[in-house]
Amino acid sequence: MNKESVTIIGAGLAGCEASWQLLRRGFSVDLKEMKPACFSPAHTSPHLAELVCSNSLRSADIGSAVGLLKQEMRELHSLIMMAADATAVPAGKALAVDRKLFSRFIEDRLFSQPGFSIIRGECREIPRDGSVVIVAAGPLASDALAHAISEMTGADSLYFYDAISPIVLAESVDRNIAFQASRYDEEQPGDYLNCPLSTTDYERFLSSLLKGREVPLRDFEDRRCFEGCLPIEVMARRGPETLRFGPMKPVGLNDPRTGRRPHAVLQLRRENREGTLFNMVGFQTKLAWPEQKRIFRMIPGLEKAEFMRFGSIHRNTFIDSPRLLTDNFMLANGPGLFFAGQITGVEGYVESAASGLLVGISAGRYLSGVPWHSAPPETSLGSLIRHIKGEAGGNFQPMNINFGLFPPLEKKVPRNRRGAAYADRALQALHEWMEKYSVIPEP
């Protein structure tokens, strides 16, 4: 056992996965967890790696982005994936687990490892004594810890309120309807895709939007919204013309099919440099996901839209990772201080665990004096790194893994084969990376 010890703050999925990766590489781990001394507003169990919102880890299909991510984690001996596979329950095409057995499996594995210790109690400060520290606080970090992070990274680098608009796959937008233009700019092409609505289109859309089913609030959430990021349905309730003078205003845009200004317009903004993802500008929402798909597909040009991320508004603590972190998840101006999990700007249990896996590997290499080489961008792990680093461009917001974050496929592939093509390319790149840089430690 290596005498060097790593302090990890937070025993969620990211913290437990980072602990496991370091323990496998011969390092000691002091895992700090505030439960059961105190709980976040969302947590109720004293156990590690608590699944709060759902027992589903989403699709098990390797042809889906999240299914591929889980397979890549298995290849890297992920504790979270071992636990999930060992405690799985029938759930069709999804990977669902028995939540209690899932947590106990993880605890049994960690507590059986030499060099592992758990320190109970709220961590109110981040140790800066020269040791390696991993901050794996979740989206509901305690106020004291959030304050410590804010002081270390800068007050303008920590976000507590997350207003997210949906993101659609570019190739699913009907370009026979959506036209490219910037407001008041006659030069072509413009920076936006514009979906024009006639009076009838708009009234039909508005009627459905006002009747749409919203996500019920969880006990720890607050309905208060900032005026600058009101849900689209809240704006709609203020009057039938509110959206036409807000995010759907048509001024400065002419539909090239008619030569006239539409009654209303939805603008789509590029979310990455490759132009594979487009953000629905100003469409943050509390609508349930099936309702978002149904209602937003009523907009001309989006009839067959594939949603890579749905809109939401909720409490979420995350840092400005593209500005603050290096590609190994270490604070650029804080050697030895790493961040992992949802606080880095990944969204979802699987993505959080994957982040912890990467940070555990990179922190181990840092301690060993071995250079870090990022996972290839063709892999789901590498695509997450690119998102965290902001290399895909756009306004940084938390996001689930999706194929829109990957480099485009080199050849055109039929839609029903697209996921398999991404998976084949990713796993080949992953295995080459693992072998070239000796990512897996010797038994």
Q: How confident is the model at residue 391 (pLDDT cuts 50, 70, 90)?
A: low
Provide the percentage of residues in the chain whose pLDDT is more than 90. 60
Mean pLDDT of the chain: 88
Q: What tokens appear for 225 in the block?
A: 């919204």
Per residue in 189-227, pLDDT tens?
A: 788 899 999 999 999 999 999 999 988 755 444 444 444
- Most confident range (mean pLDDT) of 136-145, 345-354, 394-403 is 345-354
> pLDDT for 125-140, tens place per residue?
898 888 999 999 877 6
pLDDT of residue 159: 65
Q: For residue 78, which of 406, 330, 352, 345 has the smallest C-alpha distance?
A: 352
Buried b (16+ CB within 10 A) or exposed e, 99-137: beebbbbbbebbeebebbeeeeeebeebeeeeebbbbbb
Which carries the bigger pLDDT value, residue 320 or residue 360? 360
The closest alpha carbon to 83, from 20, 7, 28, belongs to 20
> Residues 55-70: pLDDT tens digits?
679 899 999 999 999 9
For 150, the token pair is 């804010």
How many alpha carbons fall within 13 Å on the CB side of residue 40? 25
Q: Where residue 297 falls among pLDDT bands split at 50, 70, 90?
A: very high
pLDDT digits (tens, 9 = 90+) for 8-51: 999 999 999 999 999 999 999 999 997 765 655 555 566 899 88
Average of pLDDT values for 279-290? 91
Nearest to 288 by CA among 437, 421, 166, 105: 166
Strand-pair category, 307-309 with 167-169 = antiparallel
pLDDT tier for residue 178 given thresholds of 50, 70 and 90: very high
Of the candidates 189, 323, 179, the one whose C-alpha atom is nearest the C-alpha of residue 258 is 179
- My answer on whether omega of the bond before 127 falls inside 30° of 0, hence cis, is no
Q: What's the alpha-carbon Rg for the chain, to the nearest Å?
A: 23
Lowest-confidence segment of 29-43, 281-295, 374-388 by average pLDDT: 29-43
pLDDT at 296: 98
Are 409 and 49 within 8 A, CB to CB? no
Reference 344, options 152, 135, 54; nearest CA is: 135
Q: Is the dihedral of CA 213, 214, 217, 218 positive or negative?
A: positive
Residues 280, 283, 285: CA angle, nearest 5 degrees = 135
Q: What is the mean pLDDT of residues 309-334?
A: 86
| 75 contact partners, CB below 8 Å, separation of at least 6 | 427, 430, 431, 434
- At a CB cut-off of 8 Å and minimum separation 6, what does 111 contact? 118
